[in-house]
Structure 1
Amino acid sequence: MDPKLCILCRGTKYLCGLSYCPVFIKSRMRIDIPKDLDGSSPPSVFVGRIGYPKISVFASSPPIKGNTSVYENPKEWIKMNLDDFLSLRLSMARGGDRFHVNEAKNPSKLLEDIKVLSLSPNPAEIEMKFKYEPKNVIFDEDHPPLGPSAPVEKIRLGTLPPPEKTVEKVFEDKDLKSSEGIMYLYKSGIDVERISRILSVGNIGIKRKLVPTRWSITAVDKIISDNLVNEIKKYETIDKVEVYVREFNKNLFVAILIPNKWSFEWGEAWFPGSTWNKFGNKVGIEVDNEGYFGRKDYPEIGGCYYASRIGVSEFLLSRKKQATAILWREIYSGFNLPIGVWFVRENVRELFKTKPMVFDSVDDALLSLKLRSGLGSWIKRSFIKRESIERWLR
């Protein structure tokens, strides 16, 4: 890359072709976190997976006080540019220790504080005394970026706002299954990300175990979308073929809804220079799907499958309709950091807020798409087209 580009750009024009400024992010990754942190947690907790069943459990907070809820709010993140989003996430320090997953039932004082913190509906004052300076940020395909971490000598919470009655009910009811508790919270208006945090620290269900965050995120997306899909199967199909398009931050999201019984496809096309195709020289397309009766195995494409599925099932249920849903995503050069499946979930939700193009045939709908990877490449990889698209093209 020509170094003169940075001089001309200064982090404002993205002349390098990336979706963020690497100079800004590198400087923010070196943020100094004091050994004694005094701040307001959004609230935020994180459960690792390395070393399972003995895993790391953290409380997280930026070194500032006040309303920090935006640090854990995907609905606000989706409005930001990547620089601002990464700056927020990487400035939160994580403090905690290692615990066996079964310790969630009879937690130590430290783990109990982290569990209680996850229940709070609003930012909570927190003090963390680290054993050494927090280090190492983390980027992951499932969960949002994480700031530096260190073991703590102690955590002290300020006065916490009481949880909502719905959250308290699920926490207190030890005979309520995890899936039932998750749906109860969701139907009560609790955000999906928050439900996954409450689940991760063992605050939902009968067994009450710690659940690694990346697992809890996918579990919540799957359980909720499973229930929503069962609901939409009760309704009539849509009348016309509908196409939705959203381009955002070097990503293209496309949805094709076909008048047919429920089935679902999620596909991703990673262009050279994107996150999972940094060193390739051609577009890599991966697709996964399910028929009317769902699937029994975990999709190879990962947690983004269920993150997108919850978005489309929410939309169809709001209309009291069912459809065959084909969702494709193209990721272009310059979008080269993994930032979590929230990005897919929220973009799909935003996708269905746009005005659709309506067609009488799938053929016309497909021809309307402007896909950089080429329509033919998608058709070759699509599973559902064998059952739905070809039927419509006869």
Structure 2
Amino acid sequence: MKPELCIKCRGGRYLCGLSYCPLLVRQLAAPFRIKISRELSGSSPPSVFVGRVGYPKVRIYPSAPPELGDTSLYEDPRRWLEIPLEKFIAMRLSLYRGGLEIRVDNAADPPRSLQEIQLIALSERPVDVDLRFRREPRGVYLSEYAPPMGPAAPLAEFKTEGSPKLPKSAEKAYSDFDLDAREAVLTLYRSGFDMGYISRALSVGALGTRRRRRLVPTRWAITAVDKIVSDHLVEKIKEFDTVDGYYLYLRRAPGNLFLVILAPSRWAYEWGEAFEPGTVWNPGPGLAVETDYELYRGRDDYPEIGGCYYAARLAVAEALYRMRRQAAVVAWREVYTGFTTPVGVWWVRENVREALRSEPARFDTLEDALYAASTLMKIPIEKWLSASRLVHILRSRLFGESQ
């Protein structure tokens, strides 16, 4: 197995030719699972997962831990950075999933079972559920995109205790069959809902015009929501003046470093990731560095680097919108040896958000900012500069013309 294939695949494209990801299989021995029988009573945080295998017929999984009470922390990315990473992984892997097979276009006229799941997904508080499985749940779900989830099995029976309570703005979007999905996403975002809630609503087919409502696999919905919201914010920040200097932001997290440079220029954006050997997407002996970027007019294709591109883009767009400024943004992430479990793009989004809430270091020139960055990062700056397209453009006198 060639290590460079793992970097490009990241457990989702099976470029090695296997029907499973051998890097993720290693995680199955992790001591996080709780043994249960074929029945479970618990409080769904709420949590619903939609798979992509077999599309357009997919499996939708209402999920819950074997715990009753306030389980909202299980589905609140805004609070996850407050707890140790190991506790987060253990918590998420105790979410048991009961699967129902359904066509994605059934969301346009949902059967009763899907309606119940939609209402659970939109609930503003945990919902008590009883799950009865056809067999003993097994396995775990690990992905670059979605947060980890625990064992799964087909559902034999599914019941809710009480009625889910929907927030008013979410209930309005759910009931409005003339509101397209993009506007529904932005309406929920402006109403203060977190990205996890919005992507869950989109995923279960609860948003959009009646005939166009579809179930959306969770990993697709997460990136779609990050892109829709960041596209909206980027168009707004293009109307603002540029930042008045070079700003450098830094955040250290377990096994990771996040660095952001804002440059006084029209909007442009680059996301880069460097993986040391012995990380989940780099089992090989050498360092792997990937970057992708866009200029003022944006891009028409999907970035090869994956969903983290849009998760970080949302975080920087939010920060610039708060500042009422636009900038060229260089955002880099270093992943260090020992960081071996994928936890989802929320990790990037929330850590970049936190970085941009901190006080930046300010510089008069790009070279000064890059030199300061080189003293803070573990990976040699030369490795980054050889992979970065945007830094090369910023250094060029033709920057304005190139956009």
TM-score by length of 2: 0.89
Match of 2:5 in 1: none
Cα distance between partner residues in 2 of 1:349 and 1:391 = 31
Cα distance between partner residues in 2 of 1:193 and 1:23 = 24
Cα distance between partner residues in 1 of 2:134 and 2:281 = 35
- Deviation, 1:74, is 1.0
1:375 aligns with 2:378: no
Match of 1:253 in 2: 258
Match of 1:131 in 2: 134
1:289 aligns with 2:293: yes
1:196 aligns with 2:196: no
Cα distance between partner residues in 2 of 1:291 and 1:23 = 38
Match of 2:168 in 1: 165
1:58 aligns with 2:61: yes
1:103 aligns with 2:106: yes
Which deviates more from structure 2 when the two are superposed, residues 154-163 or residues 78-87? 154-163
Which deviates more from structure 2 when the two are superposed, residues 131-140 or residues 154-163? 154-163
Match of 2:13 in 1: none
Q: Is the 8 A contact 2:78 2:194 kept in 1?
A: no
Cα deviation code 1:95-152 (max 9, x no counterpart) = 1211111111222332221111111011111111111111110110100011111111
1:231 aligns with 2:240: no
Cα deviation code 1:8-43 (max 9, x no counterpart) = xxxxxxxxxxxxxx99972223x2123121110000
User: AA paired with 1:315?
Assistant: A
When residues 209 and 76 of structure 1 are mapped into structure 2, their CA distance, relative to the original with a 3 A threshold, is same
Which deviates more from structure 2 when the two are superposed, residues 381-390 or residues 348-357? 381-390
Cα distance between partner residues in 1 of 2:332 and 2:319 = 16
When residues 23 and 265 of structure 1 are mapped into structure 2, their CA distance, relative to the original with a 3 A threshold, is closer
Matches within 5 A, 1:202-221: 202-206=205-209, 207-221=212-226
Cα deviation code 1:293-314 (max 9, x no counterpart) = 1100000000000000000000
Unpaired runs of at least 5, structure 1: 1-21
Unpaired runs of at least 5, structure 2: 1-25
Cα deviation code 1:203-224 (max 9, x no counterpart) = 0012111000000000000000
Matches within 5 A, 1:1-394: 26-29=30-33, 31-206=34-209, 207-278=212-283, 280-369=284-373, 370-391=376-397
Q: Is the 8 A contact 1:256 1:326 kept in 2?
A: yes
Match of 1:8 in 2: none
Question: Helix, strand or coil for the counterpart of 2:189?
Answer: helix
Q: Is the 8 A contact 2:120 2:164 kept in 1?
A: no
User: AA paired with 1:182?
Assistant: V
Question: Helix, strand or coil for the counterpart of 2:30?
Answer: helix
User: AA paired with 2:394?
Assistant: S
Cα distance between partner residues in 1 of 2:370 and 2:263 = 11
Cα distance between partner residues in 1 of 2:250 and 2:318 = 17
Cα distance between partner residues in 1 of 2:213 and 2:162 = 25
Q: Is the 8 A contact 2:27 2:341 kept in 1?
A: no
Question: Helix, strand or coil for the counterpart of 2:357?
Answer: coil
Aligned length: 370
User: AA paired with 1:200?
Assistant: S
When residues 232 and 127 of structure 1 are mapped into structure 2, their CA distance, relative to the original with a 3 A threshold, is same
Q: Is the 8 A contact 1:110 1:154 kept in 2?
A: no
Question: Helix, strand or coil for the counterpart of 1:387?
Answer: helix
Question: Helix, strand or coil for the counterpart of 1:388?
Answer: helix
- Deviation, 1:392, is 11
User: AA paired with 2:171?
Assistant: E
Cα distance between partner residues in 2 of 1:56 and 1:211 = 11
User: AA paired with 1:376?
Assistant: E
Which stretches of structure 1, 4 residues or longer, exceed 4 Å deviation after superposition?
22-25
Q: Is the 8 A contact 1:25 1:87 kept in 2?
A: no
- Deviation, 1:281, is 1.7
- Deviation, 1:372, is 2.0
Cα distance between partner residues in 2 of 1:356 and 1:25 = 41
Cα distance between partner residues in 2 of 1:144 and 1:23 = 14
Cα deviation code 1:39-76 (max 9, x no counterpart) = 10000000000011111001000011000000011122
**What is the percentage of aligned positions where both structures have the same residue?**
45
